[in-house]
Amino acid sequence: MDPALSAVRLSVREAVHTLSSEDGGRIFSTLGSLKRYLGQTENPALPGEQEEFARVHFSAFLRCLVSKLSPDWLELLPDGQLEELWASFFLEGPADQAFLVLMESIEGTAGPSFRLMKMAQLLARFLSAGRMAAVLEGQCWQHTESASPLLQETLLIRVVTLPDRLGNRLQRESLAVFLPQNYFPLLGEEIVRVLQAVVDSLRGGLDCSVSFVSQVLGKACVHGRQKEILGVLVPRLMALTQGSCLWQRVCWRLVERVPDRAMEAVLTGLVEAAPGPEVLSRLLGNLVMNSRKAQFVLTQKLLFLQYRCTTPMLQSLLGYLATDSQRRPLLVQAGPCCRQALKELLETWGSSSAVRHTPLPQQRYVSKAVLICLVHLGDAELHDSRDELLASLMAGVKCRLDSSLPPVRRLGMVVAEVASTRIHPEGPPLRFQYEEDELSREMLALATSRPAADGSLETGPSVPPVAADTPDKEPEESDIPQPPPDGSDSELDSDDEFVPYDMSGDQELKSSKAPMYVRDCVEALTTSENWERWEAALRALEGLVFRSPAATREVSVELAKVLLHLEEKTSVAGFEGLRQRALVAVTVTDPARVAKYLTSQFYALNYSLRQRMDILDVLTLAAQELSRPGRLGRAPQRGSPGPASQPSSAVAPAWRAVVEERIRSKTRRFSKGSVGRGPAAGPNEFNSVAGYFFFPLVQHFDRPLVTFDLLGDDQLVLGRLAHTLGALMYLAVNTTVAVPMGKALLEFVWALRFHGDAYVRRGLLSAVSSVLLSVPAERLLADLPDELLEARAWLADVAEKDPDEDCRMLAVKALLLLEKLKDKLLPLSFP
């Protein structure tokens, strides 16, 4: 047996025996002599002895030190001398073994105790002293004996899951350094220190490996800690890789050695943390060309299978692909072994199926990616692929303009404007009329700047200057003062002293008076060539209808026909509102006859889609007015006052309100009751006419006409019809016809439940909720049990799988109503 090895074994055995004694001085002396095997004394042991101690005895000796830890044992020497010497073995010995023993002892200690807190405090000192860098660095040197895979896997798990394990053991007593928001930034700093040591070793001619550091980084990102660790790592690496090829190579190898299962998490975090494509290029290099997993993540998953990237992230990602000649084919040129990202983006953008079955946020995401790719295309590339780009873009624009959802239509308009300006800068600009919002402004800004040849940004196409050959236009500003015209007395005839006359209360004088009767309005709207009389009749019609209900009923159908076909012949302010309110007034005054006429015209020939949607809007507003409680007790205050109203009538409510307020403030009351009366009770007028509004609309929706096909291209009107039927069902609450209406509406919903348009599905889901709210619970269970079971299964499927967010929300609300219905009926069934 080697005498040197026997001496190490004997020394360790003697030290273990001495630790069991109660002689503090002897323990201190023995531990001090044993430290020479760590190389921390003036007379260190031989290298072979140090290696034997570290490889064979160190972990076992640390476990022995942990087992002796107690308050009485530490007090064998005063002033904490023994505790400091005891802790030095963990802080100065081999870092990986010390770390594993510390974690093992903390996890193995039962319950809150003195030993548990001391070990936790020692682990906190271990981390604060930078020993975690020594743990990671010990796995990087290839010239030493390689560690076993089991040891590396154990270290990897303990390093990454340290906050979770310490939190489970310490509970409320956990230290601040063990919190995830503090630990992972510290781990990022330690990784930078390890990489610095690796760079120094490479400069010294030594071989190193960053595989273990890559595994730690990947596992931390898989656990969802990208922001904490990369928020520290990326800014440091961004500064270190600036102008240093060696640091760039180390970073490339660091990311390249990340396991495939963690590659997505690491790349996503890097794209999010990198401030631009230039930094991302320094950190990743040509990783996307060398790793199939990285190529799939960067060119497929982040662009098509997810839509979590923000606009700056998309700009960094696509800019990274476009800024290097080796990576650029992945973006703009298809190859035998790679797929072109721009081509696939355009295929997705132009797919009608994608428009119908992808959520709106993902459509916005793909649209931004397409515009960013267009920004990175050069003039030659645009010229070569102009026809293909236009075909794909215009196909997507057409699909979106045909959509029933206003945000989708607006998205198609914005992309069409920006893309046409980029593809055809020399042609006339394409302009749509839409309401601008934050998204449209952001997408328009994507085309204002594009990368130049040197990588900097140059401004996009600017507004052309005014032509010089326009002598008719004088310059707006001039530095040379212009002399006044001859004969002007500007100083004598100045008007600055005169105060302008207040003309805010003036009214335009009309040559014709407003009609006084409903029949006169009908005549004026149909035969009059006097446009002032025509406008006056339209403005006075609503008030006359409400003041003369008997006269209105005599001509109600004729008047409804005139208003339905009425076209704006002059520029009348608020024409659509005046026409709609007059139609609503006529329908409310004579609901049965007018509703019968309007519903029959909804499926008639030779009507535009706008007129059919006007019919639905009028029926909804009229039903809402008829179902309003106490409607007959209040005079309708709609539109402009009639011609018989006096000018002082607008002032009377003001002074009357002032007088009532003074009386109320000076009146002493001895009890606090309700000051105002509640709404007057009365019958629901919609009860007797609900069938005229509802059933004709739900009968013929599946019969296509020559110019009207609800199940075909006219899905916008179908969606409006579904919403209208749901509103009528909701307004028919507590009416005798609610049950047959609910059954017919559920049949309508069941026939269209798999419709591809999101707007139609929203209307169907709203209709289901209206049925659950309007039909009494007992009647639902008695008359519609099968329909409820089928609707429940369908709603659950929509809530889980529908691509539209609003549809999922409406389905969840309907399911909640079903649950409330079940809870309401169960107590009645089981008294």
pLDDT of residue 256: 93
DSSP assignment of 360-381 equals HHHHHHHHHHHHHHHHH--HHH
Amino acid at 230: L
For β-strands 457-459 and 449-451, DSSP reports them as antiparallel
- What was the pLDDT predicted at 702? 81
The rounded distance, in Å, linking the Cα atoms of 356 and 761 is: 11
| pLDDT reported for residue 640 | 36
Strand, coil or helix: 590: coil
Beta bridge partners of 458: 450
* In 498-638, alpha helices (H): 518-527, 531-547, 549-554, 556-565, 575-589, 591-602, 609-626
In Å, how far from its chain's centre is CA 772?
Answer: 31
Q: What does each C-alpha distance from 375 to 69, 240, 339, 369, 532 come to in angstroms?
A: 67, 30, 20, 10, 54
Look at residue 38 in the predicted model and tell me its pLDDT: 81
pLDDT for 663 equals: 76
**CB-based contacts of 466, cutoff 8 Å, min separation 6:** 473
Count CA atoms within 13 Å of residue 155 on its CB side. 23
> What's the token pair of residue 318?
């696509």
**Helix (H, G, I), strand (E, B), or coil: what is residue 450?**
strand
pLDDT at 392: 83
DSSP state at residue 476: S
pLDDT at 452: 42
Amino acid identity for residue 151 in this structure: L
- 459: β partners: 449
Largest Cα separation within the chain, whole Å, is 128
Residues in contact with 26: Cβ distance below 8 Å, sequence separation at least 6, in sequence order = 18
Give me the pLDDT at residue 638, please.
42
Per-residue confidence (pLDDT) for residue 507, from 0 to 100 = 59
CA distance 262 to 256: 11
- Amino acid identity at 505: G
Task: Map tokens 């204002």 to a residue.
Answer: 448
pLDDT value at position 454? 38
Q: How far apart are CA 416 and CA 671, in angstroms?
A: 67
Q: What are the tokens at 830?
A: 């089981």
φ, ψ (nearest 5 deg) of residue 123 = -65, -35
Give the 3-state secondary structure of residue 259.
coil
Q: Tell me which residues of the chain have a pLDDT lower than 70.
A: 1-6, 40-41, 142-147, 333-339, 448-498, 501-512, 528, 630-655, 669-682, 825-831
H or E element: which one contains 660? helix 652-666
Packing angle, helices 180-203 and 162-170, rounded to 10? 140
